[in-house]
Amino acid sequence: MAVFAYTGVNDKGRTVRGTIDADSEKSVRQLLRKQGVYVEEARALAGDAKRAGGDARANPKGKVAGARALAALGAVSSAPTFQAIFAAIKKAASSSQRHVAVATRQLATLLKAGIPLPEALSAVTEQVDHKELQAAFEIVGVKVREGISFAKALEEHPSYFEPLYVNMVAAGEMSGNLEGVLARLADFIESQVKLKGKITGAMAYPAFMAVFGSAIIGVLMVVVVPKVSAIFADFQKSLPWYTELLIAVSGFVGRWWWLLMLGAIVGFGAFLRWKRTPEGSYRWDEIVLKLPMLGELARMVAVTRFTRTLATLLSSGVQLVKAMEIVKNVLGNRVLEAVVTDATASIKEGESIAEPLKRSGRFPKLVVQMISIGERSGDLEGMLVAVSDNYDGIIDARVTLLTSMLEPMMIAAMGGTAAAVAFSILMPLMQLNEFVQ
């Protein structure tokens, strides 16, 4: 037995502190939970740590309570530092909506089983594998026990719970169907993660091939060609034009490689800066939509997000105008966002959804027709889901086709460039007997 000091929150949302005799911290949590106290921190008092069997650690499962959780989420730091920037980048890289989807589904299951929201949040918090997300759920649970609404508590963590998530939860709380809304949210997030995985997976191999091929060509131009050109320099006869061109390019790259890299970095930075401006972002998205194959695929992905998100929001009880305002933020294309913004303004004036989408000419005719049918039949959510399911299948086929085309194209480009370099070097070498004469 050891004496533990604990800090927790009772059923009324009040902070309580005290001491208790227990074998381990786990026992502390179990004993106090029976008394209606949710433990935030427990530690063995001095002299009792050894008797606690090495269990006198606060939050052994990685949970961070109170100020620690806020610190883990970066809320305590007011001045930007390199450590904070690195932590933000690391969090963005490690964060995954997959963890949010799993936690949301678990919460929906617990609520459906009749478990109160505070207890369900505590149980879900202990199951979350993502450390920062676990800390966010911990804080949300404390806020809920203090009497703050679930949606309002989620709103304080936009990195993990987007406006779509918060608004759907708010609608679920108002309608009394929170568990149903959370289940739909889990389905929606999983579908979006799956869609993102398809696109990322399709582009990963071509990107790797491009980097790998560029590295090989760079080694040939900087290392191999200069050594071979030194052999040609001993002869006083002219070389073929393509060999002369190769040697000139190799010499330029070998001499000014640092300038080329600097120019590429500066150019890429200038492009990103331009793309961050409202006009630049709009123009770039407009260019993307006009690209062969890729443009149509980008349009389909945006349409799928639009229809799936709008259907999920409407079925959860979110008002149409509010749903349209949320939907425009998930499209990922400024051109289509502008169309949805105009459509929202038209809806406020009493117009249907389909008409402004049709006038824009940016949405496929089939999508507009199905939305129009859904509005007239009173089954808009069903039509939106049907459009999304249909486009999911088309995107699968297009991604497969694009991947199957990109792979041989990348191999052909790499092989063609390497063959051109080899041809430019080998042809003069094969004619060395003429140079010697």
Q: Quickly state the pLDDT bin for 50 (edges 50, 70, 90).
A: very low
Spatial separation of the C-alpha atoms in residues 426 and 428, rounded to whole Å: 6
Helices (H), 349-379: 354-360, 365-377
Domain-terminating residue out of 134, 158, 190: 190
What pLDDT is attached to residue 13? 53
Q: Convert the pLDDT of each residue in 120-148 to its tens digit.
A: 888 888 888 888 888 888 898 898 888 88
Domain that holds residue 184: 82-190
Domain-terminating residue out of 190, 222, 255: 190
141 plus 12 within the same structural domain:
no
Average pLDDT over residues 30-54: 63
Q: Quickly state the pLDDT bin for 184 (edges 50, 70, 90).
A: confident
CATH of residue 166's domain is 1.20.81.30
Residue 237 lies in a domain: yes
Angle at 251 between CA 245 and CA 256, to 5 degrees: 125
How many domains are contained in the chain?
Answer: 3
401 plus 344 within the same structural domain:
yes
Residue 142 lies in a domain: yes
* % of the chain exceeding 70 in pLDDT: 83
Lowest mean pLDDT among 76-80, 369-373, 411-415: 76-80
320 alpha-carbon distance from chain centroid: 26
Angle between helices 225-233 and 380-430 (to 10 degrees): 30
Residue 212 lies in a domain: yes
175 plus 250 within the same structural domain:
no
181 plus 256 within the same structural domain:
no
Helices (H), 176-240: 178-219, 225-233
Residue 321 lies in a domain: yes
16 plus 159 within the same structural domain:
no
209 plus 350 within the same structural domain:
yes
Domain-terminating residue out of 164, 190, 216: 190
CATH of residue 44's domain is 3.10.20
**Is 400 a residue whose pLDDT tops 70?**
yes
The overall longest dimension of the chain from CA atoms, in Å, is 103
Q: Convert the pLDDT of each residue in 232-266 to its tens digit.
A: 776 666 777 888 888 888 888 878 888 988 998 99
Q: Quickly state the pLDDT bin for 14 (edges 50, 70, 90).
A: low
417 plus 336 within the same structural domain:
yes
